[in-house]
Amino acid sequence: MQNTRVIVASGYAQIRQLLAELVRGEPGADVAAEAGNQFEAIALAKQLEPDVVLMDFNLPYQTGFDFVRLSRISGLDTAQTIVEVTPNSRVVLLNNLADISHRKKGVVSGITTHLSTHRNGIRIPLTLRELRHGEAATGVPVFANVEV
Amino acid sequence: MTVKNSLRECQVFSRLTDSQLGKLAALCSKEVYEAGTTIFNSGDTAERLFVLEEGKIALQLLLPVKQSELRKRITVDIIAKNELFGWSGMSEPYIYSLSAICLQRATVLAVNASKMSSVLQDDYAIAYEVLYGLVNVVSVRLHDTTQLLVTERSLV
């Protein structure tokens, strides 16, 4: 069976590194590409049609607009767009990465992480393999967290 | 936390007295939404406004794309704890202008907008404080939306 190909996307290089380490930590998963903004994420998804996209909510619309207070909130928009344009990809929107980065005072590489999602308030562990082959609905992003 | 205390934590209602808060608290119900849930869509009839107690909510604008059935999505604001959203319920034509989508599991206070309007009509002191707060919410949202749309179109 082919490895699970994953695109990681975040506006922060450290978070992309953290997500790449999470991918490499799971047997049978490879990082296919890294994206730093909405434009790159959508273009790479169309080009590579990955099995999974791991996306930080904090994703810039475009680069160079950091002076706009809300310039880094395109994660949801991008995730919804990618599930439309590459319906075979599972897109995971991660909402707590800024919290992890803050808690770890900016040092996020080298820490052990895994994915989880919540149903009815109960935390459920999630693997990339399950995302690829599991029952996640197509056409909508999966909302998940990175657990340290 | 009691409904009255939750309202007090929200800037829009923070200057109301205990008895004034009590009148509004009677119009509220507490609701929980899972991550990914859409609380309302743009274009829906706006019957309620909301105060976020826990979680994180994205307010999203949908723009038509020329010669395509797709619509471009732009998140124009993120609602954090104790912030109010859904103010369209207090203003004609009572249609939500944005969609509200839960990024994290969210606990909200839902306020019946038409009943709140009745309370404001009966008590001008409450009306002044609440409408003053709502103007600030609308002002911030307008500013954020303008900034993002200008950025999106690379006009800056």
ipTM of this complex prediction, to 2 decimal places: 0.85
Q: For an interface test with B, which of A42, A77, A83 has the most B Cβ atoms less than 10 Å from its Cβ?
A: A77
- B138, HSE (Cβ side, Cα atoms, 13 Å): 14
Here the tokens at position A147 are 């657990």
Write out pLDDT tens, residues A44-54: 999 999 999 99
Write out pLDDT tens, residues A95-135: 888 777 666 665 566 778 888 888 777 888 888 988 888 77
Q: Closest-CA residue in chain B for A93?
A: B103
Whether residue B93 is preceded by a cis peptide bond, meaning omega within 30 degrees of 0, is: yes
**A69 CB near a chain B CB, below 8 Å?**
yes
Residues of B in contact with A83 (CB under 8 A): none
Please determine, for residue B156, whether its predicted confidence score (pLDDT) is greater than 50: no
B47 strand-pairing partners: none
Nearest to B36 among A61, A96, A140 (CB): A140
Q: How far apart are the first and last CA of chain A?
A: 29
Residues of A in contact with B153 (CB under 8 A): none
Interface contact A70-B101, CB threshold 8 A: no
Residues of B in contact with A93 (CB under 8 A): 103
- Return all residues near B6 (Cβ < 8 A) that are at least 6 apart: B28, B51, B53, B82, B109
Write out pLDDT tens, residues A33-91: 999 999 999 999 999 999 999 999 989 887 666 667 777 888 999 999 999 999 999 99
Write down the pTM of the prediction: 0.89
